[in-house]
């Protein structure tokens, strides 16, 4: 099968500033390097659901941020659909969806439907494409009754259903899910897992999933990549 994503010898280092308790230490702080990701390599085929797992501090979230173009690698290569994410951000962002479990992409004080309509415009979807996807989201995620509700009035589970839905709105070829079920109850988790399975089966969307919930992995992932 065709590779959707290729990662080779990926490295990410951050500068850490250490100031000694002296005038000299204040004026000339000492810098050290912290390596958050150390020579990671893998490939993912189109239509796969792959789990990215490892202990806290192993570099999973940093890897996701490089894969989505938020961070630039210190060393190594990433190609997603033939594109280096940090080099062609505008073009690349139209082909991916992203969910960060602890960060919202919904407008907090507006009805959630306004966010969906905004993304319809941003991604230049036709009304038919928009309605077809909204019908699927309502059928599987049951978001129809939430569309006129401001995000700030939603429970975490309700909001995450909308977060996951909006990440798939523009028919991306690959979606990154970073802790998509964190803090959710059993029913909310099951709704999101069911949706991801359904849309992967129907549209062959590639999914890269990071999570500490092994039931997410057992339910969704066809294989796993371990970073330690």
Residue whose tokens read 């899910």: 177
Q: What is the CATH number of the domain that holds 217?
A: 3.40.50.300
Within-domain flag for 32: no
Q: Write the DSSP string, 179-228.
A: STTTT--HHHHHHHHHHHHHHHHHH--EEEEE-S-HHHHHHH-SEEEE--
Within-domain flag for 177: yes
Of 22-36, 154-168, 205-219, which gets the smallest average pLDDT? 22-36
Q: Binning pLDDT at 50, 70 and 90, where does residue 22 land?
A: low
Task: Report d(CA 8, CA 132) in Å as an integer.
Answer: 37
pTM of the full structure: 0.88
Within-domain flag for 92: yes
Its domain, for residue 134, covers 46-226
Within-domain flag for 10: no
The overall average pLDDT reported for the chain is 91
Taking the alpha carbons at both ends of the chain, their separation in whole angstroms is 28
Within-domain flag for 144: yes
Of 30-34, 50-54, 121-125, 130-134, which gets the smallest average pLDDT? 30-34
Give me the residues paired with residue 208 across strands: 50, 176
Within-domain flag for 31: no
pLDDT reading at 21 higher than 80: no
Within-domain flag for 2: no
Of 91, 96, 90, the C-alpha closest to 44 is 96
pLDDT reading at 2 higher than 80: no
Per the structure, the count of domains in the chain is 1
Within-domain flag for 123: yes
The pLDDT tens digits of the residues spanning 55-91 come to: 888 899 899 999 999 999 999 999 998 899 988 888 8
Long-range contacts of 62-65 (CB under 8 A, 24+ apart): 62/12, 62/36, 62/37, 63/10, 63/12, 63/37, 63/227, 64/176, 64/178, 64/208, 64/210
Task: Tell how strand 3-18 and strand 75-80 pair up.
Answer: antiparallel
Residue whose tokens read 């700030």: 152
């Amino acid at each position: 099968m065709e590779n959707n994503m290729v990662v080779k010898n990926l490295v990410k280092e951050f500068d850490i500033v250490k100031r000694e308790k002296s005038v000299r230490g204040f004026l000339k702080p000492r810098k050290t390097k912290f390596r958050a990701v150390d020579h990671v390599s893998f490939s993912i085929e189109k239509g796969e659901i792959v789990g990215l797992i490892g202990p806290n501090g192993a570099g999973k979230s940093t890897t996701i941020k490089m894969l989505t173009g938020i961070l630039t690698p210190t060393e190594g290569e990433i190609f997603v659909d033939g594109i280096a994410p940090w080099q062609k951000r505008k073009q690349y962002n139209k082909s991916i969806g992203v969910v960060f479990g602890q960060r919202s992409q919904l407008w907090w004080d507006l009805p959630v439907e306004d966010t969906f309509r905004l993304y319809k415009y941003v991604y230049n979807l036709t009304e038919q494409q928009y309605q077809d996807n909204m019908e699927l989201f309502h059928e599987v995620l049951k978001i129809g009754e939430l569309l006129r509700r401001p995000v700030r009035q939603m429970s975490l589970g309700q909001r995450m259903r909308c977060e996951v839905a909006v990440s798939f709105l523009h028919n991306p070829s690959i979606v990154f899910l970073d802790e998509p079920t964190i803090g959710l109850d059993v029913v909310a988790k099951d709704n999101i897992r069911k949706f991801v399975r359904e849309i992967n089966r129907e549209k062959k969307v590639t999914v890269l999933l990071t999570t500490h919930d092994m039931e997410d992995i057992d339910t969704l992932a066809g294989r796993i990549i371990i970073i330690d």
